[in-house]
Structure 1
Amino acid sequence: MFIHQFYDKGLAHASYAVLRAGKMIVIDPARDPQPYYDFATLHEADIVGVIETHPHADFVSSHLEIHEQTGATIYVSKLVGAGYPHQTFDEGDVIELNDIKLKAINTPGHSPDSICILVEDETGKSTAIFTGDTLFAGDVGRPDLRENAGNITAKKEELARDLYHSTREKLMTLPQDVIVYPAHGPGSLCGKSMSPDLQSTIGKELRENYALQLMNELQFVELMTGDQPFMPRYFGYDVELNKQGAPAFTASVNAVPRLAADAELEAGIFIVDVRPEQDFKKGHIKGAVNIQLNGKFETWLGALLNGDEPFYIIAADNEHLDQAIARAAKIGYEQNIKGAITAPAHTDTTSPVLNQEDFKSHPENYTIVDVRNWNEINQSKIFDEALTIPLPELREQLNNIPTNKPIVVHCAAGYRSAAASSIIATQVNNVPVYDLGDAIAGFASRKNG
């Protein structure tokens, strides 16, 4: 038996191939199926199955496309209510991959329809478990993503109680040497405190995972329902898309309209410019928003735009435009791109440059907007007088920003403030909107010092 992990750092997503004697099963595949085809070809294996541990909220899966291209059976819990051809895979069900077995374990908690997959080797020994979003290295899955999405919805408190029993009664009772293969690593928004490890063991998690320590059900529920990261707008959209199955990746990406540099853009449509912030600030289309490609582009695209919201996308050249479209497709947003443009003709809008010395000397002359996440803000404010509006909430709160003084926007490192300042600048015309950018590091160190 051979297990291989595929890891997408941008979405902190792990998927897997399990090979045995020329047959291969893929678990929780990403949107682009080509890496799994290439891996099967390299090992002269046939893809015979695809297992979905649950309908994912943070990325779009290629399970349906793999089925259509290879004939592989899709296995998923009956609770998903899947709208694609599939074989139900629930507690007691077994997939025989030659002489090894993959056994389903229903583990509701992160979602009502979550399963884990226990692997038994040819001797019948439990050797590995694919835990999806139920158990991570150092964490467990957040229980608040399925209150309004999916075939079954449930309140976060109810799912947290389910997660308590799933972990205690089904996972923590496994042999301690069983290897844990989760669907996510650090940086994923599906948990709040993942370790840097991309795999673990049951024994290590029993010793080190804060969520698996001795506590009663009420304590666990309170722990799991508090201090979770923000929920991007696209999460519910992706749950529904994965429940039905997404269109084929390459065909859908190729269907995105490519527009001429001087194309007239429809008024009122969101414009995403993916260039580095230095290039964006030197000149961009009026009304464009800077969501840079050199960061967590997919997450912030899906955090700022709704799942059914059309948008234009702009890049410096075709190579970067192709990358941006493919990365938008990871969360299913390629279908919302109204047009893709390279080097547009009308980039005569520039961003003002902040006089940092004046700002340092007279911060009271500026309206300061802190767009970090709530957990960062609650931990420590860099400017005591700052207006706090986390970036995911900004579009709805633009009217709450005073415009009687110049505006300075900051985050923790510069990526989010570049997006936020450009969003504010689309609505504010009477005063300059400045991005403090990476200069925030100096102010933060001065505050902490």
Structure 2
Amino acid sequence: MKIEQIYTGCLAQGAYYIESNGEVAIIDPLREVQPYLDKANADNAKIKYIFETHFHADFVSGHVTLAEKTGAPIVFGPNANPSFKAHIAKDGEVFQLGDITITLLHTPGHTMESSCYLLKDKNGKDYALFSGDTLFLGDVGRPDLAQKAAHMTQEQLAGLLFDSLRNKVMTLADDVIVYPAHGAGSACGKNLSKETVGSIGEQKATNYALRENMTKEEFVKEVTDGLLPPPAYFPMNVKLNKEGYQNVENIINEAKPFDAKTFEVVANETDALILDVRHQNDFEKGHIPKSIFIGIDGGFAPWVGALILDYKQPILLVTPIGREEETITRLARVGYDNTIGYLDGGFETWKKAGLEYDTLESVSAETLEEKINENAKVFDVRKPGEYLSEHIVDVPSTPLDFINDHIAEFPKEEEFYLHCAGGYRSVIAASILKARGYHNVINVLGGFSAIKNTGIKTTNYVCPSTLK
């Protein structure tokens, strides 16, 4: 038996490859499926099942494409009603895989079809639980995402989740390994651990939601408390996972390389969004006017989903040379399939063509200290939790996630400064503002990490009215 966790840091997502005696099961695959096919081929094995823990909201799964390429059935738990052919399993249904078995445990609460998969070894012993978004390490799945589809409140869904955990998960032996669908950084929970593999016993001892003496009322209150609004792209990803989508290979093949002048013409004729995914330092030194920065080496896909509200928006890319296909693929992972092309040869070809470009002014934290003493306006674009922990005195919270709600707060005429934790998100925010005509925005290099090493006064006091 072989179990391999295939973890994608950008999405904080874990897919699983399980092989036993020449038969393979894939759990929650990513949209690009070739790596799973390659692994099975290397093991001289056949993909027999494609298990889905639920209709994912934060990424487009590879179940449809993988089924087309292998003929393996897609398996969902009870209550799932996809538009494509799938096996809707019963609670407790057992699937034979080589010398082992995998049992579906229906665990509604995060969504109504949410299910875990319990792997038993060749001796019939409970060995591992693939817990999807039902149980994370340190947390459980948020119960507010499926309210509309389930015609239930988040409190009612949380009550179902409480029962699922107590009746299906916490009854398992302490030594059963837990393989969750997500780790820290995912918006599918609020307190996820950085670890990606744990055990039932460990979670019983450390996970706040699995306290032995916890009442259902306490669970519902704690699980629903402090939930931030879900990213705007979540419903669209659920729709694609439920109804189907095109092969990501087709999307890659349809994207065209454009020379600089053709790129400019296409941008004007299609009203495409120009997305620059290079490092923020490169973007600061020079970028195409009105382009938006979201760096490929940061939290790329989730920020795309949070900030580009129209997933059908035509997109033109400016990427590091050689990373064009990777960028198109990572956009498609979260449902952005309309990449029409990219700047062939990267940003340098734009400059060599003599076309206009813009820059972003940045200053050090030490310079910011001088400017604050001169009453400069400063905005903190970190998440509310980061802001609550510590922030500059008298500086408001304007989280990047909700920047569209704060546009009116940024001054049109005078200079102002943006900072995040380290410099990635503040450049994203600055690019959005510059694209909207705020050319008086200045980025703070090194973000709050650098600010803390200066004499700038900080506090952890916050007036509730300053937070989203």
- Which residue of 443, 448, 452 maps to 1:440? 448
Offset of 1:448 from its aligned partner?
5.9
Offset of 1:169 from its aligned partner?
1.4
Please list, as runs of the form range in 1=range in 2, the aligned pairs for 1:403-418 lying within 5 A after superposition.
403-418=412-427
Question: Is this contact kept in 1: 2:78–2:106, CA < 8 A?
Answer: no
Alignment partners' CA distance in 2, 1:229 and 1:347: 40
In the alignment, structure 1 residue 204 sits paired with structure 2 residue 202: yes
Question: Is this contact kept in 2: 1:110–1:134, CA < 8 A?
Answer: yes
Alignment partners' CA distance in 2, 1:329 and 1:153: 29
- The answer to which of 391-400 and 56-65 deviates more is 391-400
CA shift in 2, pair 1:57/1:413, >3 Å: same
Alignment partners' CA distance in 2, 1:122 and 1:175: 17
Give the equivalent residue in structure 2 for 1:219.
Answer: 218
SS at match of 1:140: coil
Alignment partners' CA distance in 1, 2:87 and 2:305: 31
User: What's the CA shift string for 1:41-82, capped at 9, x where partnerless?
Assistant: 111110011010001111111111111111001111241211
Question: Is this contact kept in 1: 2:421–2:447, CA < 8 A?
Answer: no
- Which residue of 303, 308, 313 maps to 1:310? 313
Question: Is this contact kept in 2: 1:19–1:25, CA < 8 A?
Answer: yes
Give the equivalent residue in structure 1 for 2:84.
Answer: 84
Give the equivalent residue in structure 1 for 2:327.
Answer: 324
Give the equivalent residue in structure 2 for 1:237.
Answer: 236
User: What's the CA shift string for 1:278-337, capped at 9, x where partnerless?
Assistant: 22122211111111112111111111012534143332444122221121121121x122
Alignment partners' CA distance in 1, 2:305 and 2:104: 31
- The answer to which of 153-162 and 4-13 deviates more is 153-162
Structure 1 stretches of 5 or more lacking a match? none
CA shift in 2, pair 1:307/1:122, >3 Å: farther
Offset of 1:230 from its aligned partner?
5.1
Alignment partners' CA distance in 2, 1:17 and 1:320: 26
Alignment partners' CA distance in 2, 1:445 and 1:80: 52
Tell me the percent identity. 35
Give the equivalent residue in structure 2 for 1:372.
Answer: 382
Question: Is this contact kept in 2: 1:77–1:114, CA < 8 A?
Answer: yes
Give the equivalent residue in structure 2 for 1:398.
Answer: 407
Alignment partners' CA distance in 2, 1:247 and 1:186: 29
Question: Is this contact kept in 2: 1:233–1:307, CA < 8 A?
Answer: no
Alignment partners' CA distance in 2, 1:253 and 1:147: 35
Offset of 1:427 from its aligned partner?
2.1
Amino acid at match of 1:423: I
User: What's the CA shift string for 1:177-198, capped at 9, x where partnerless?
Assistant: 2111111122222122222321
Amino acid at match of 1:122: K
Offset of 1:218 from its aligned partner?
1.6
Offset of 1:404 from its aligned partner?
4.3
In the alignment, structure 1 residue 162 sits paired with structure 2 residue 170: no
Question: Is this contact kept in 1: 2:12–2:184, CA < 8 A?
Answer: yes
Please list, as runs of the form range in 1=range in 2, the aligned pairs for 1:346-357 lying within 5 A after superposition.
346-354=355-363
Give the equivalent residue in structure 2 for 1:360.
Answer: 369
> TM-score w.r.t. structure 2 length?
0.89
Question: Is this contact kept in 1: 2:288–2:358, CA < 8 A?
Answer: yes
CA shift in 2, pair 1:158/1:444, >3 Å: farther
Give the equivalent residue in structure 2 for 1:300.
Answer: 303
Alignment partners' CA distance in 1, 2:154 and 2:272: 34
- Which residue of 167, 189, 192 maps to 2:190? 192
Alignment partners' CA distance in 2, 1:307 and 1:26: 31
Amino acid at match of 2:135: L
Offset of 1:206 from its aligned partner?
0.8
CA shift in 2, pair 1:316/1:181, >3 Å: closer
Structure 2 stretches of 5 or more lacking a match? 460-468
CA shift in 2, pair 1:331/1:130, >3 Å: same
In the alignment, structure 1 residue 93 sits paired with structure 2 residue 73: no
Question: Is this contact kept in 2: 1:79–1:113, CA < 8 A?
Answer: yes
Question: Is this contact kept in 2: 1:27–1:52, CA < 8 A?
Answer: yes
Alignment partners' CA distance in 2, 1:355 and 1:138: 37
SS at match of 2:258: coil
CA shift in 2, pair 1:235/1:347, >3 Å: farther
Give the equivalent residue in structure 1 for 2:22.
Answer: 22
